[in-house]
């Protein structure tokens, strides 16, 4: 609980740090402003529009989940899908592989306009996407197929847990959710990611060796860096260290190589290596567990209350009945939406730690500041304190640049601020 309390209150401490404007004569705030001034007003307005549209989409997703549940339950569709699964298969676990594909297919068709708006139209409108509609739709179908298969497996296991533990399912279900997330992290680099992009060894050269050197210096056993052709889908710069237990892979996208100088690329890769070295995937799951416990318990209470009132009308026999799955999804979506700032705070703290790791590993704060400006294409350059604390899952470009300049002030106390053209 102490760790979770720190996560929830961490945002306030970040802004207390910003209160200091100078260190050893170095103007931290002035140097930060010099970097920020290189972004045009039009670019800022474009990013603000993109982020604000994302907020609207989040709300629409929640409303859509409730409407989908009402439709499936009130029309008796969910009950009929349950009956079909029971007629075809004796195993309650295996019935998930009939019920869930039907549920996923119908939901995807009904929600396709919203999916198109958020994932295709909006990304193109704000200049972030590069795919044609046909290419995007092809990836959409592949992702849908993979997601449905994994989702059916998870739901089958979840309902097995519900049948075995009954009113205590929320506790066991939370643990199952965390375990399944770890499973997805384990298989993703090997079996899922290559379905959408080509991963090939990064070209040999000094930059690759610099990246591997940072990894080795920090105890990460890896001998290669992968390059991914993300430019076929997006203009964003990104990189990641993914996988667990022997499937770890360092990867960077071609946009990063094409749009950033070698020092900035090194800084980004140090950030991603930091996530791995600091054991963030495992820590993330441990931090999420108490949050999931609370969400599942609340969802259980709400589900029971609604079941008593409408269960007979909907044809839902109990919480262990697949026919009630749309209701469970709707409740978890609404409750989860309310808890989104808490989830984001967990991610934010780890991103902040990885940022500091990168600056310390590379000893190059200006390279990190340059990278932060590239992320201003899809993150508000300088959001309000409220947005920074509760709606950002990554530090804003302002916060990241300020962090870098503060580090520089402490390590180069006699050096004047760099001029930023």
How do residues 267-288 score in pLDDT, each as one tens digit? 999 999 999 899 998 899 899 9
* Domain shared by 167 and 313, yes or no: yes
* Domain shared by 398 and 294, yes or no: no
- Residue range(s) defining the domain that contains residue 381: 1-38+342-416
User: What number is the average pLDDT over the span 4-28?
Assistant: 48
Alpha-helical regions (H) of 323-377: 325-338, 340-362, 365-374
Q: What pTM value is reported for the model?
A: 0.87
- Binding residue positions: 271, 275, 351
Tokens of 288: 């999420």
* Domain shared by 203 and 176, yes or no: no
HEC letters along 185-215: HHHHHHHHHHHCCCEEECCCCHHHHHHHHHH
* Domain shared by 181 and 219, yes or no: no
pLDDT digits (tens, 9 = 90+) for 89-101: 999 999 999 999 9
| Active site members | 272, 355
Q: What angle do CA 399, 400, 402 make, to 5 degrees?
A: 65
- Of 249, 271, 293, which residue constitutes the final position of a domain? 271
- Binding residue positions for Zn(2+): 271, 275, 351
Report the candidate in 364, 363, 349, 344 with the shortest Cα–Cα distance to residue 399.
Answer: 349
Q: Is the dihedral of CA 390, 391, 394, 397 positive or negative?
A: negative
Tokens of 111: 């929600």
Helix 133-165 vs helix 169-187: angle between axes, to the nearest 10 degrees? 140
In a domain, 328, yes or no: yes
* Domain shared by 302 and 382, yes or no: no
* Domain shared by 178 and 205, yes or no: no
The answer, yes or no, to whether residue 344 has pLDDT greater than 70, is yes
In a domain, 371, yes or no: yes
* Sheet order of strands, 239-242 included: 199-201, 225-228, 249-253, 239-242
Question: How many residues would you count in the chain?
Answer: 421
In a domain, 43, yes or no: no
Question: How many whole angstroms separate alpha carbon 257 and alpha carbon 264?
Answer: 9
pLDDT digits (tens, 9 = 90+) for 284-307: 989 999 999 999 999 999 999 999
Count of structural domains within the chain: 3
pLDDT digits (tens, 9 = 90+) for 54-81: 999 999 999 999 999 999 999 999 999 9
């Amino acid at each position: 609980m102490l760790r979770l309390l720190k996560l929830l209150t961490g945002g306030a401490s970040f802004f207390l740090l910003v209160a200091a404007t100078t260190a050893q004569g170095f103007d931290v705030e002035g140097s930060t402003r010099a970097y920020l001034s290189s972004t045009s007003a039009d670019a800022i307005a474009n990013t603000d529009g993109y982020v604000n549209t994302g907020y609207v989409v989040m709300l629409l997703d929640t409303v859509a989940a409730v409407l989908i549940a009402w439709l499936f339950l009130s029309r008796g569709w969910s009950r009929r899908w349950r009956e079909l699964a029971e007629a075809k298969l004796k195993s309650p676990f295996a019935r998930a592989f009939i019920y869930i594909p039907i549920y996923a297919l119908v939901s995807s068709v009904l929600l396709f306009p919203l999916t198109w708006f958020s994932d295709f139209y909006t990304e193109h409108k704000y200049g972030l996407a590069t795919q044609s509609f046909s290419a995007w739709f092809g990836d959409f179908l592949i992702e849908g197929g993979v997601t449905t298969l994994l989702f059916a497996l998870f739901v089958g296991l979840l309902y097995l847990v519900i049948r075995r533990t009954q009113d205590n399912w929320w506790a066991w279900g939370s643990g199952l959710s965390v375990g399944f997330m770890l499973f997805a992290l384990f298989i993703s680099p090997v079996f899922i990611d290559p379905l959408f992009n080509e991963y090939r060894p990064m070209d040999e050269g000094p930059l690759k060796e610099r990246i591997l050197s940072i990894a080795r210096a920090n105890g990460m056993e890896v001998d290669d860096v992968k390059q991914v052709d993300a430019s076929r889908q997006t203009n964003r710069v990104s990189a990641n260290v993914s996988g667990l237990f022997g499937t770890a892979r360092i990867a960077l996208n071609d946009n990063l190589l094409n749009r950033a100088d070698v020092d900035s690329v090194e800084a980004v890769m140090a950030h991603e290596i930091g996530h791995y070295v600091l054991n963030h995937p495992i820590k993330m799951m441990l931090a999420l567990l108490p949050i999931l416990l609370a969400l599942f318990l609340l969802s259980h209470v709400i589900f029971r209350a609604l079941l008593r009132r409408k269960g007979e009308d909907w044809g839902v026999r109990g919480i262990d009945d697949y026919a009630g799955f749309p209701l469970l999804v709707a409740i978890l979506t609404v409750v989860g939406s309310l808890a989104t700032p808490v989830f984001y705070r967990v991610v934010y703290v780890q991103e902040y730690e990885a940022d500091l790791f990168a600056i310390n590993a590379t000893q190059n704060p200006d390279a990190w500041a340059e990278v932060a400006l590239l992320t201003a294409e899809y993150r508000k350059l300088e959001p309000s304190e409220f947005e920074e604390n509760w709606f950002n899952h990554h530090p804003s470009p302002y916060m990241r640049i300020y962090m870098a300049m503060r580090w520089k002030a402490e390590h180069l106390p006699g050096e004047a601020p760099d001029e930023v053209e």
